[in-house]
Amino acid sequence: MSITLGYHRLLSHLAFKAKWPVKLGVLLFGASTFEGTALDWCSDHRRHHKFVDHDDDPYDITKGFFHAHVGWLLFKLRPDPPLDNVSDLQADTLIAWQHRYCKLDWSDR
C-alpha cells in the first residue's frame, strides 16, 4: 500500500491529497520496502513516464521483463539521476525528513 497508493498515486502523480499522519505512515512503511526514499522513487517514476521505453527510462521494458520489474533496482548501472523533477516534493518537510534519514551511512564506522 505504501508504494502503490503512497509513493505512486499520492506522491508521484499527485492523484489526491492526504493529511500529515497518512503521509507519515506512507513514508515510514515505504522506507521499509527497500525501494528507496519517496524522492528517489518518485523521481525515477516521473522519469519513466517522461521517457517510456527509451534509454532514459529507469525501468525500460525493452530491456526485458526482469529488468523492468526488479533488475533496475538490483543492478543500477548508471549513477543516480538528479532530483530535478521532484522539487515540489522536496519542499515537503516530511518527505525531506524521510530522504535525509532513511539511508544509513556506515562510512564513519
- Angstrom distance (rounded) from CA 35 to CA 96: 16
Gyration radius of the chain's alpha carbons: 14
pLDDT higher for 48 or 16?
A: 16
- Are 74 and 35 contacting, i.e. CB atoms less than 8 angstroms apart? no
User: Tens digits of per-residue pLDDT, 48-102?
Assistant: 888 888 888 888 888 889 988 888 778 776 667 789 999 999 999 999 999 999 8
The residue-averaged pLDDT of 6-30 equals 96
* Residue 108 pLDDT: 47
Q: Where are the domains of the chain?
A: 2-101
